[in-house]
Structure 1
Amino acid sequence: MPGHFGQKILKHLGLNEDGNNNNNNPGYPGQQQQQQQQQEPMGPRMAGDRLVNNDERSLSNKPGGTYPRLCRMHDGSILASFTRFRDGKRFLMVSRSVDGARTFEDIGEVTSGKGDVDNTYLLEVAPNVVLAAFRNHDLGPGGPTHYRITVCRSQDGGRSWHFASQGAEKKPPLGIWEPFMRLGQQGEVQMTYSQEFAHNNQCTMLVCSRDQGASWSAPQCLHGQDHCVRDGMNGIAATVDRGRPALVMIFETTTHGTFDLEALLSYDDGRTWGYRHQVYVPPRGHNAGAPQIASFGDGSLAVIFMTDEDCRQVQWTKNACIKVVFGSPPQDGRVFWTRPTTLCPGTGHWPGIMALDGQTLLGTYECGGPKAKSITLR
């Protein structure tokens, strides 16, 4: 593992109020000295330093894999999920770390198939009981013939898996994908996913389960059913707004034609959402998408995403690197976001993020396999 030097950023930040920050100042591989990213003093300042550490590690003890996501277990261990391609099939893999996410070893396989299986998301719902939600589409000569968000369950900490239910399913031509799960305040599993309503209209949907994924409520559109943009790839993090519990949802969308990042807030545990605002808009003609979000112990936020803004040739999603922006805790429904800082300057895809503790987040991404770097608050 590389040394624990880092890239110093965001010290006592001044944050741009509108979120439309186009500062392209990536780090460089092997850069050992710390750098402080310059910020305009245009908003409240967050206390502390946020450091993107040069401590990349693999999420598997075997080669290959993409779309990595993490899941914290009750015993302190950490599961990772990712998709591996081999012999014309896709394998939804699970690995485990027992040393604080420093090393991982493959322990299980959720499923495999020649269809369109991908987008695995893990959630522990009881000690050693883990749900895996993933897209699971039948394919024909002309494309998908049936869309599903399938849920499997493990009762041994991710080693063996069995079918639990279909969280959502529908017929073509309009699809569903990209599930995300969290536990609500009443112990229910809340699963959000993306659904197309038209070629130019995609929204975030919600279904809930009160029986550990065996059955699900009817789908509910959370925002924007009549808004002709493609909201997708959502993630949700818990925070506080002046002591009031709040959730922040991050997602990609097409307000400006290409992809940018926007957010919503909820003050009723995810039942209703509002306060929509921009998080990051890349330079015109470029994309910022595939975001995920996590919170530090002080309620401040980190959004990891992929972007092609540093690439001369726009080939979304082929050309991309991984960056992160930080946000203040909400203040009366408003979040102040920084400019982006590079986490993986090389070609990187499909990032995720999870809090290891109150001062440490782990950002994941594909870069020659499922990888991760830590981000610390000091």
Structure 2
Amino acid sequence: MRPLKPLALALLLALVPSGGAPALAQPSSPSFEPIRMTANMSIQEHGGMIPGLYWEDRIIPVYEPASGGVWYPRLLFTRKGTLLCAFDSNEDGGRSRIKLVTSLDEGLVFSESRTAAALEGLDCANPALVELADGSLLLAYRANAMREDGYYSSIRASVSHDGGATWEGHSLIAEEFGRGGVYEPHFGFIGERLAVFYANDSLNVVEEGSQQLILFKLLENGAWGEALIASDGVKNRSRDGMPVWTKMADGRYALVIEATNVPGHPFVIQMTISPDGLNWNEGNRDIYIPYMQGKKAGAPYILTLPDGRLAVAFQTDDEAARTGDGASYMKVMVSTDPGKEGASFSEPFIPFLMPEGHCANWNALQVQGEVLYAVTSANYPRSGVYLRRAYLTPRARQGVNLLTNGDFRLRNNQGWSIIQSGRTYHAAFGAKRFEVDGDYTALTLLNLKPGPLELRQEIPGLMAGAYRFSLRVKGDGEKAITLRIEQGDQSAEFSFVPGQEMKDAEITGISLRSGPARLRLIQAEGLRKMSVTNLKLEWLGEEGAQ
């Protein structure tokens, strides 16, 4: 048996230029105004999908309850660098409550949960976080219940003076009695003044339950002022809901909502812009409409990236076989012309791929430095809150895995093609046939006929520079596996012989140009079986670029 060497054993480097063809241009991402999904668009996941966003391959568990569920996560980075994640949960039985976890390493590891808000006889949900000038934290949430005297709903705030370790009551922001109520607060600053936006469908303020207002209040001298209208669902004949807003790079403010006034869709995503955060008279415009009739898009989130673009997240059942929240998943899109008439957005990206019948929804975004954080509450692989990070600049993307589904965590070949004439092979796709050993899930390919068998992935866009390829692999200790990376008329090829035990392998010294590429992992003739996982292609920097 030959032991596997970490570097290429038979380094058959073949950078083969032919005719000196120019470097391929990175493909541009189509723009939509509004985005309407077309019939041939499918669920995709790739780091090159949104220009300027480079997604990590890994999904980070933030919190997985021992029982019950978790929903509606919201993130906040404090000025000291602590990342907080608040969410609602019924894990402890009885009424739902707001729980909080923290991370001191930018979202890699999170603390045990603590309860931030729980009220006797009321369900607490829809958390929102903000840090004040003195370093204290405010947590807003809705508290509601059906009582003997009718339905009661409120939006309340709690305050923490110790970084979220302990909380106490702060203020009552709004409350309603009777049919309908108040929901979904979101904090922010208009100038130096703290503001909270929220939805209200109480029959005290709207004509019928199919309508809803987006209201906001300012904190003045320690008290919340009168409610002002940001989006008028009565006037719009819409149940405008789930408001999230952000200050734009040019000093204006953008608000996103879910709306119900587009025929054929329960909800669509709309955006409106205010010159000062106080006057919202521009009117709402559609920015995402599902392709299929009867499909919806809702629960939007918006923030301003450091380069001035607007990132918008939402949930949709657009391509799902079923409809509803239980079939919805998160999408993220980024503006290409923020705030201007005719503003467009990138093609949406799906950061959390869900098997059919599962969901990833009630999402949020946060940005810290050159990193975008996407968070969701999902029921796959189990009920929990999950985080994924994307990098905003080339330097920040160093070490990011550019391959889709490199660890086969979905237990399928999403993002990969298996190539062999005659299809005389067996691929171990499925939970019972996967080799599971601690922290990895491996794909096993069994070749049933003479001739090579390959695993292939198309990479939509690379940056010029030096790259590293690594994987965990097992073979027979005799036959080679070849890595081949193709870019138009050029290719780089490396061969190595894996041993009979699962071990790590790494290939460095790969120099690639900008543009799309094809990665091929070829099982040599005579090698009947190989197992692979943790496949990674990482950009190391511009050194060595062609």
TM-score scaled by structure 2? 0.60
Cα distance in 1, alignment partners of residues 388 and 64 from structure 2? 16
Cα distance in 1, alignment partners of residues 320 and 360 from structure 2? 12
Amino acid at match of 1:58: P
Aligned in 2, Cα 1:122/1:35: closer, same or farther, shift over 3 Å? closer
Cα distance in 1, alignment partners of residues 76 and 162 from structure 2? 14
1:181 and 2:187 correspond: yes
1:84-163 correspondence to structure 2 within 5 Å: 84-85=89-90, 86-106=92-112, 108-113=114-119, 114-140=121-147, 145-163=151-169
Amino acid at match of 1:27: Q
Structure 2 counterpart of 1:289, from 298, 306, 328? 298
Greater alpha carbon shift after TM alignment, 333-342 vs 346-355? 333-342
Amino acid at match of 1:305: F
Partner of 1:352: 364
Partner of 1:16: 32
Three-state SS of the structure 2 residue aligned to 1:58 is strand
Conservation of the 8 A alpha-carbon contact between 1:239 and 1:329: no
1:339 and 2:347 correspond: yes
Q: Deviations over 1:50-105 (max 9, x none)?
A: 23332211223765522100012111111110112122232211111111122211
Three-state SS of the structure 1 residue aligned to 2:115 is strand
1:228 and 2:233 correspond: no
Cα distance in 2, alignment partners of residues 311 and 235 from structure 1? 25
1:366 and 2:377 correspond: yes
1:49 and 2:45 correspond: no
Structure 2 counterpart of 1:78, from 74, 83, 88? 83
Cα distance in 2, alignment partners of residues 155 and 277 from structure 1? 40
Aligned in 2, Cα 1:229/1:331: closer, same or farther, shift over 3 Å? closer
Q: Deviations over 1:136-158 (max 9, x none)?
A: 0132369x621100111111111
Greater alpha carbon shift after TM alignment, 102-111 vs 117-126? 102-111
Cα distance in 1, alignment partners of residues 47 and 187 from structure 2? 36
Partner of 1:165: 171
**Could you tell me how far 1:311 is from its partner in structure 2?**
1.8
**Could you tell me how far 1:210 is from its partner in structure 2?**
3.0
1:192-211 correspondence to structure 2 within 5 Å: 192-196=197-201, 197=206, 198-211=208-221
Amino acid at match of 2:216: L
Q: Deviations over 1:102-158 (max 9, x none)?
A: 22113632222452210011111134311111110132369x621100111111111
Q: Deviations over 1:151-190 (max 9, x none)?
A: 11111111111111110111111211000000221x2211
Amino acid at match of 1:156: D
Conservation of the 8 A alpha-carbon contact between 1:364 and 1:371: yes
Amino acid at match of 1:103: V
**Could you tell me how far 1:35 is from its partner in structure 2?**
6.3
Partner of 1:4: none
Amino acid at match of 2:215: M
Conservation of the 8 A alpha-carbon contact between 2:259 and 2:267: yes
Cα distance in 2, alignment partners of residues 13 and 270 from structure 1? 34
1:237 and 2:249 correspond: no
Structure 2 counterpart of 1:276, from 254, 267, 284? 284
Structure 2 counterpart of 1:26, from 24, 40, 43? 43
Greater alpha carbon shift after TM alignment, 84-93 vs 106-115? 106-115
**Could you tell me how far 1:239 is from its partner in structure 2?**
2.0
Conservation of the 8 A alpha-carbon contact between 2:190 and 2:276: no
Cα distance in 2, alignment partners of residues 141 and 102 from structure 1? 45
Amino acid at match of 2:389: S
Cα distance in 1, alignment partners of residues 374 and 312 from structure 2? 9
Q: Deviations over 1:170-223 (max 9, x none)?
A: 1111211000000221x2211000011221211210111034xx4201111112
Amino acid at match of 1:374: R
Partner of 1:218: 226
Conservation of the 8 A alpha-carbon contact between 1:275 and 1:334: no
Conservation of the 8 A alpha-carbon contact between 1:26 and 1:342: yes
Cα distance in 1, alignment partners of residues 340 and 349 from structure 2? 26
Cα distance in 1, alignment partners of residues 238 and 373 from structure 2? 30
Partner of 1:321: 329
Aligned CA RMSD, in angstroms, stands at 2.3
Aligned in 2, Cα 1:165/1:127: closer, same or farther, shift over 3 Å? same
Percent of aligned positions that are identical: 20
Conservation of the 8 A alpha-carbon contact between 1:229 and 1:254: yes
Conservation of the 8 A alpha-carbon contact between 1:107 and 1:159: no
Cα distance in 2, alignment partners of residues 296 and 89 from structure 1? 37
**Could you tell me how far 1:275 is from its partner in structure 2?**
4.9
Cα distance in 2, alignment partners of residues 158 and 271 from structure 1? 33
Cα distance in 1, alignment partners of residues 123 and 281 from structure 2? 31
Cα distance in 1, alignment partners of residues 42 and 55 from structure 2? 14
Cα distance in 1, alignment partners of residues 167 and 252 from structure 2? 33
Conservation of the 8 A alpha-carbon contact between 1:128 and 1:154: no
Greater alpha carbon shift after TM alignment, 157-166 vs 86-95? 86-95
Aligned in 2, Cα 1:375/1:74: closer, same or farther, shift over 3 Å? same
Three-state SS of the structure 2 residue aligned to 1:89 is coil
Aligned in 2, Cα 1:184/1:285: closer, same or farther, shift over 3 Å? same
Cα distance in 1, alignment partners of residues 309 and 350 from structure 2? 19
**Could you tell me how far 1:288 is from its partner in structure 2?**
0.7
Partner of 2:316: 307
1:60 and 2:63 correspond: yes
Q: Which one has the largest radius of gyration? A: 2
Three-state SS of the structure 2 residue aligned to 1:201 is coil
Amino acid at match of 1:350: W
Partner of 1:41: none
Greater alpha carbon shift after TM alignment, 304-313 vs 322-331? 322-331
Q: Which runs of 5+ in 2 are unaligned?
A: 1-25, 394-546
Cα distance in 2, alignment partners of residues 273 and 19 from structure 1? 23
Q: Which runs of 5+ in 1 are unaligned?
A: 1-9, 29-33, 38-45
Aligned in 2, Cα 1:220/1:121: closer, same or farther, shift over 3 Å? same
Amino acid at match of 1:362: Y
